[in-house]
Amino acid sequence: MNFTAKTIADFLHGELVGNPDVMVSDVSRIEEGKQGTLSFLANPRYEKYLYTTQSSIVLINRDLPINGKLEPTLIKVEDAYKAFATLLELYASSLPKKSGTEQPSFIHPTAVIGSDCYIGAFAYVGEKVTVGNNVKLYPHVYIGDGVRISDNTILYAGVKVYQGCAIGANCIIHASTVIGSDGFGFAQGDDKGFKKIPQLGNVIIEDDVEIGSNVSIDRATMGSTLIGRGTKIDNLVQIAHNVEVGINTVIISQAGIAGSTKVGKNCVIAAQAGLVGHIKIGDNVIIGAQSGVSNNVEENKICLGSPAIDAGTQKKALVVFKKLPEIYKKMNEFERYIKEHPQDESKKNPD
């Protein structure tokens, strides 16, 4: 689908500088721009490419100064990154939509399927499932008995949702993610063997949540594992049984949260961070990459390291840590000096 610069500028309420009739049919990164594509410039580090790119249209911030000759048509907006994201949404909405039920697939007679849904080949929809309107279940999706899925939610290929779980409206769950697998609950007996504890709860995912690929969210032992509204979860994340994640929280790749931990709203848990079980993370907390959190964290805190501590303290500690080899060397030199000059020490202590 082709768009003119004027059409895009009008849609974004932007200021047009250049040819209003230039056409684009695709997007590209500004450093790899090609004729007929649109790019954006939001990071100042990439400003040099504005003067060399072959892109036909570039979105820029209104306050960006122009310091050279330009080839592309410019559209000036308040926030180029957000404007570009808005255009991508427009483009995505214009693409053909999947619809209907492909065969072979299985839908239990007691399942209730809303209007305008897509059910891909080899999908399985179990007993007493409720699926809302405009839901898309891509091939090989498994929906267990009693699951509820609300309107406009998309489950990509191979997603598995175990029995009794609930997924809200406008959610996106990417390929091969598992919702509602058993929590890791075992009791060790006198013989040192492990007896499985039945996991009788479920998982509740609220509205507007996006979950990446190969994520595992375990069902609660009793009650519910809860993912709050607007939360975004990256690929390869593990969330254990009875965890509760507050609204608008971001959890990044390879992070893991152990059982019964409560995470507040508007938090960021960075890549490869690990949280032990039965702790509480306050609202607006940022946990740095590869941090190991073993205690409660108060709201509005930033913590780093393993064990995780306040970011300011951790940064000071890292400065000292880098100097440890030098400090160790000086200590050894001092010890040798004391051994070689015992008389100097005796002068300091005449008694």
Which letter does DSSP use for residue 198 in this model? P
Contacts of 187 (CB under 8 A, 6+ apart): 194, 195, 197
Whole-number Å distance between alpha carbons of 271 and 307: 15
DSSP string, 221-290: SSSEEEE-TT-EE-SS-EE-TT-EE-TT-EE-TT-EE-TT-EE-TT-EE-TT-EE-SS-EE-TT-EE-TT
d(CA 255, CA 323): 30
Half-sphere exposure of 111 (CA within 13 A, CB side): 20
19: which 2 tokens? 């040819």
User: Most distant CA pair in the chain: distance in Å?
Assistant: 98
Query: How many secondary structure helices (H) and strands (E) does the chain include?
Result: 5, 40
Q: Which of 108, 241, 278, 341 is catalytic?
A: 241
Q: Is residue 180 within a helix (H) or strand (E), and if so which, with residue range?
A: strand 178-181
- CA proximity to 138, closest of 162, 153, 158: 158
Q: Is 241 a catalytic residue?
A: yes
Q: Which residues are catalytic?
A: 241
